[in-house]
Amino acid sequence: MKTNDVILQSAAKLVVFVILTFSAYLFLSGHHEPGGGFIGGLMSAAALVLLALAYDLDTIRSVLPVNYRIVTATGLLLAILTGAGSFLFDRPFLSHAFDYFTLPLLGKTELATAVLFDLGVYLAVVGVTMTIILSIGEDR
């Protein structure tokens, strides 16, 4: 079945970047505003799914040659390592720390280890969602 998806495809090209940027914003702002790793990850995955719907899976694979199982594993590893990192400071597993730094351009900024953990969550969610959707989508 060959369908003409010109409008969807053209729109998707633009919209995907908007969604991805928004997901990055959601992820980074999660500490103070609504958002976070889980929502950000889902949002990114949704952008990729949109691409998959507008084009097809082969296109996705050639544009983004990523093994999403490894993305999941990286995310999990990052989350665990962040948790284990607190052992280095003789604190219980998953103790977080934060402090305020003055950075160039950004001014006074809060940096927290929780963001690293959240990045793990983000990657894991993207990996999991894409693994599931791609493997079911490929199954003919």
Q: Is 112 in the site for other proteins (CB under 8 A)?
A: yes
Answer whether 68's CB lies under 8 Å from 130's CB: yes
Token look-up 């919209």 returns 15
What is the nearest approach in angstroms of other proteins to the Cβ of residue 1? 11
Give the closest residue to 52 by CA, choosing from 41, 64, 42, 40.
64
Question: Each residue of 48-79: b (16+ CB within 10 Å) or e?
Answer: bbbbbebbeeeebeeeeeeebeebbeebbebb
Nearer to other proteins, 17 or 110 (CB): 110
Q: Is 73 in the site for other proteins (CB under 8 A)?
A: yes
Q: Is 9 in the site for other proteins (CB under 8 A)?
A: no
- Point out which residues bind other proteins (CB under 8 A): 26, 30-39, 42-43, 45-46, 49, 53, 69, 72-73, 75-76, 79-80, 83, 93-94, 96, 98, 110, 112, 114, 117-118, 120-121, 124-125, 127-129, 131-133, 135-140
